[in-house]
Structure formats: C-alpha cells, structure tokens
C-alpha cells in the first residue's frame, strides 16, 4: 500500500466514494451477513484512515482491509483464553473455571423466566437467597445465609448493617489491601463505621481487643490475611478467644475469610485453609467469603451465620444494590451441590482438579506438546520443558507453591534484544484465535501447563508451521 505518487503534498489521495465502495460485489456478502450499517461504518473508517495517510490502494486491497475491520468489530471483547500463567485463580483471567453442571444450570435459566423470587410451593413472592441458603446451611452449619455479588460487598453490607457510626475493632496486622487498591480502612469508611485498630503489625493479643471495647464498640472483626503472611515473632488472638470475648460484651464477632474454602484442602494434598464451618464452630457470629476463589464457583460474596444478624443484612437497602442475578445464583447452586458428594469433588470441580493435579501428569503433557509448539513456532523460539512452580492466586495461600511443568520458549538472537523479542513472541501468542497467556521469567516465555485441559484445542493453534508468521527481520508476519 504505497503513497499515491500523483497526489501533491498535502492533497487528498484519489479514493472512491463511500457509495461506490458499498456497491462493490466483493463486499456484498458482508452486508448480507452482518448488515449494511456495520459495513458502512467500516468503509467510512477505512477510507478516512487511508486519506489521512495519503494512501490510495487498489480495490482488492481496500476490500480486504474493510472486511478485516468488520471482523474486528464483531470480535467479542470478552473472550476465552488459555491461562498458562501458572496462576490458577487469576483475577485478570476470570478466576475459577466453572464445572459443566454450573454451565448447564446457567443455560437452563438464561433463556427465559425462572423462579428467581417466586416460591413455587406457596405460589407467592419468595427470596432469591432460597436457591442456595439451604445448601450453605448444610455445608457450613450456619443458621442462615445470604449472597451478594462479591466478598468486598459482603463485608461492606455487614459493616453498614451492624456498625453504622460506631467502632469496629480490628488487629493492626489484619488491615489488608488486596486487588485494585481495595483497602479495609476505606471499606469501613464507606460503610459509615469507624476503624479501631489494636495491637501492632506483628503481635496483637486478646487483651488489646478487650481494652479497646467501649460504649461505641459495635463489633469485633477478624480478617484472614489470605494474601500475605507474617512469620517469625508474631502473635494473634484466635477465633475462639475473640468469640468468647465478644459474647461476654454482647457484641457480634465477624470473620472475613476472603478466599473461602468449603472443605479441608489437606484431604486433597493441598495446604489447609480455614473454612466457614471451622470459624462458626470457634464462635464467629457471621463469616464472609468469596464464591469464585477456592470455593470454585461464580463471582459472589457469601455471608453465613446467626439468623437474626443475617435478617438485618437482608433488610438493609444496600442488599438490593449488591444482590446477585439469576445466572450467578444458578451457577452457585450447581457448584454447592457438588460439595454434597465429597468423594467425587476433586474430579467434578475444575478449581480443585487443577489445584491438585499431579506434577507428573503435567510433565507428560508438556513432553507431548513441546514438539507441536516447536514446529508451529519454527525459527521464532527454541522450545523445551522445564520444572516450575504454579501458585493458587487471588490472594489464596500466597506462599504455597505447586510443583508443575512449563514449555519454555526462548527466542534466538543476542541477549541485549531478548526483551523486545520476548514481548513480540508474547504478543503473537495473544493474537492467536484463542489467545495464549503465559509469563516472562528468566529470559524466556513460560507456558505453565497446570491449567491446560484442552490439549487438542491448544495443539490445533500450532498445527500449521509458522503459525505466528515469520520471526522479526525474516519477512512480514502473517495475519493470525
């Protein structure tokens, strides 16, 4: 696509009129398949860009470019990707993958009406929490439960309902920041309550909590530091002690568990993570936790505990603003049903299956895929198999690593240009029909295969040699 040699400097190149381009036979199928309005937008945008660049390509080149614009406009912004980062519950990549049962449940209620807030037995208005409350009661031993759209919302609802304009006592070592600058003190301030921090960063004793209780105290709050650990010279009051102290003063004791494991993960060869049932048994009045982390379900914030306190949460106007829709509730119900069969849970629940996947199995997969990827990449990178460690992610057990294996992609050339070559390689993988997301470490692009279950689909991306085009400096890269 060269500059129009006949066009003087500053003049517009000779380009066809929009109506003429719309009438080209080569573009008729686009109008028929995707509508004239979408084709019109693409034609106008392409001609404007060519005019600004001083280009006047031939009809065939323009038609191809316009078709590519239409295809780009139709590409969903939210797409499936291969998560080969080595982080199983990756917040940026959607956290927990849902089981087939949850997908079927979503489909069943998505296409039409569902009894979201309708009691079929009584023939009258119901409560949308009814879909999951009974299951949560059985799985945690709670008197009642309610669900909102994430755990930050669950904690905010608890604070706004039980401690407005009053003090909430929290250990200084539990004033967490997670995600995109989510800070516990900020949540408290927005909920209309006052933070009363006690103890020190590394050591907080029961007496620190006791001495802070006064007439303005509304609640004792314990936050599970799931995204970091304080080791060495440290101390913290346990839940049983805090629960007894809260009961002594007639105060609610709330535990924010964050990641929300519903079962003892040690049964599956993973580090133990506190469960809601354990917190309630130790004396917590309410426990909040996530649905889309270790629980393995959709995004949700779950509150379980005393019936009278849950009733207060449901009466708060915030509850309506934070509630889940029918799709999330349908998926959550299906996932919770899987926990009723613990013997098959590790097989049926993708999150638990991926977390407990044996390293030897991942290594065998890597050995099968290495020659396939090498053939597809050609001269772009050398491919070999290396032992690596995966992490759980989403603030869950941050210092616990899982043995795994990865495909190591090392671009050729001098080390001084390795950074640019790695960036180009990573960008090429992201441009595949199903984007492949890895991580750059140690001068290579690592594709950790712990989360790869669609072996055939992944291999198909590399079936054609040079699937990413020619390496830099060896021709023009082909369009993915």
Do 141 and 197 lie in a common domain?
yes
Are residue 250 and residue 380 in the same domain, yes or no? Answer: no
Beta-sheet pairing, 286-290 with 253-258: parallel
Q: Is residue 9 part of a domain?
A: no
Question: φ and ψ at 300, to 5 degrees?
Answer: -170, 155
Does 160 map to a domain?
yes
Q: Of 158, 163, 443, 113, nearest to 286 (Cα)? A: 158
Q: In sequence order, what are the residues at sequence separation of 6 or more whose Cβ sits closer than 8 angstroms to the Cβ of residue 379?
A: 412, 470, 471, 474
Question: Looking at the structure, do residues 362 and 402 belong to the same domain, yes or no?
Answer: yes
Q: Which of 250, 276, 251, 254 is nearest to 263 (CA)?
A: 276
**Any idea which residue has 């039409």 for tokens?**
112
Reference 447, options 436, 458, 438; nearest CA is: 438
- Is 473 domain-assigned? no
Q: Which two tokens stand for residue 454?
A: 């669609």
Final residue of a structural domain among 285, 320, 345: 345
CATH of the domain at 424: 3.90.1150.110
330 in the same domain as 398: no
Which pLDDT belongs to residue 478? Answer: 32
| Per-block mean pLDDT, blocks of 10 residues, the chain (480 long) | 45 82 94 95 95 92 95 93 96 95 97 95 95 97 97 95 95 78 82 90 90 96 78 81 96 93 92 94 97 96 98 96 97 98 95 96 98 94 97 70 96 83 95 96 96 97 78 38
Domain count, the chain: 3
Residue ending a domain, among 327, 345, 363, is: 345
* Threshold 0.85, pTM exceeds: yes
Structural domain including 443 reads 82-91+353-461
Same domain, 357 and 333: no
Write the DSSP assignment of 389-415 as a string of letters.
EEEEETTEEEEEEEEEEEEEEE--S-G
Q: Are residues 329 and 360 in the same domain?
A: no
Same domain, 371 and 328: no
Please report whether residue 11 resides in a domain. no
Same domain, 65 and 87: no
Judgement on whether residues 54 and 182 belong to the same structural domain of the protein:
no
Residues 115, 86 within the same domain: no
Whether the CB-CB separation of 1 and 55 falls below 8 Å is answered with yes
What's the confidence (pLDDT) of residue 394?
A: 65
For residue 448, count other CB atoms closer than 10 A to its CB.
26
CATH code (residue 162): 3.40.640.10
């Amino acid at each position: 696509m060269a500059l129009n040699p006949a066009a003087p400097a500053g003049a517009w190149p000779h380009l066809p009129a929009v109506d003429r381009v719309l009438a080209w036979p080569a573009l008729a199928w686009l109008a028929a398949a995707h509508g004239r309005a979408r084709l019109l937008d693409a034609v106008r945008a392409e001609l404007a860009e060519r005019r600004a660049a001083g280009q006047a390509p031939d009809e065939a080149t323009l038609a191809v470019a316009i078709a590519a614009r239409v295809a780009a406009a139709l590409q969903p912004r939210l797409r499936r990707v291969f998560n080969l980062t080595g982080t199983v519950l990756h917040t940026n990549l959607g956290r927990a993958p849902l089981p087939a049962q949850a997908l079927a449940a979503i489909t069943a209620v998505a296409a039409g009406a569902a009894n979201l807030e309708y009691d079929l037995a009584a023939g009258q208005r119901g409560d949308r929490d009814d879909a999951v409350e009974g299951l949560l009661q059985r799985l945690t031993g709670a008197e009642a439960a309610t669900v909102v759209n994430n755990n930050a919302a669950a904690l905010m609802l608890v604070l706004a309902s039980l401690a407005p304009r009053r003090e909430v006592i929290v250990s200084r070592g539990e004033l967490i920041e997670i995600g995109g600058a989510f800070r516990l003190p900020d949540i408290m301030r927005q909920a209309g309550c006052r933070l009363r921090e006690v103890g020190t960063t590394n050591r907080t004793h029961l007496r620190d909590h006791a001495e802070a209780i006064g007439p303005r105290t509304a609640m004792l709050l314990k936050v599970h530091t799931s995204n970091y650990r304080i080791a060495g010279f440290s101390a913290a009051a346990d839940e049983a002690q805090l629960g007894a102290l809260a009961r002594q003063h007639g105060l609610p004791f709330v535990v924010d568990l964050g990641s929300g494991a519903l079962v003892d993960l040690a049964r599956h060869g993973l580090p133990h993570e506190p469960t809601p049932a354990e917190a309630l048994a130790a004396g917590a009045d309410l426990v909040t936790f996530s649905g889309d982390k270790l629980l393995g379900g959709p995004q949700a914030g779950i509150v379980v505990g005393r019936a009278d306190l849950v009733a207060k949460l449901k009466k708060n106007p915030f509850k309506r603003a934070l509630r889940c829709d029918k799709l999330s509730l349908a998926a959550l119900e299906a996932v919770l049903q899987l926990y009723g069969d613990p013997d098959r849970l590790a097989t049926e629940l993708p999150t638990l299956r991926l977390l407990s996947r044996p390293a030897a199995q991942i290594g065998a997969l890597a050995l099968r895929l290495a020659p396939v990827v090498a053939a597809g990449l050609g001269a772009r990178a050398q491919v070999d198999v290396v032992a690596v460690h995966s992490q759980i992610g989403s603030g869950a057990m941050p210092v616990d690593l899982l043995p795994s294996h990865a495909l190591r992609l090392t671009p050729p050339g001098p080390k001084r240009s390795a950074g640019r070559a790695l960036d180009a390689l990573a960008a090429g993988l992201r441009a595949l029909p199903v984007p492949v997301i890895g991580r750059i470490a140690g001068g290579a692009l690592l594709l950790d295969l712990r989360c790869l279950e669609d072996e055939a689909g992944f291999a198909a991306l590399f079936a054609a040699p040079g699937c990413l085009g020619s390496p830099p400096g060896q021709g023009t890269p082909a369009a993915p």
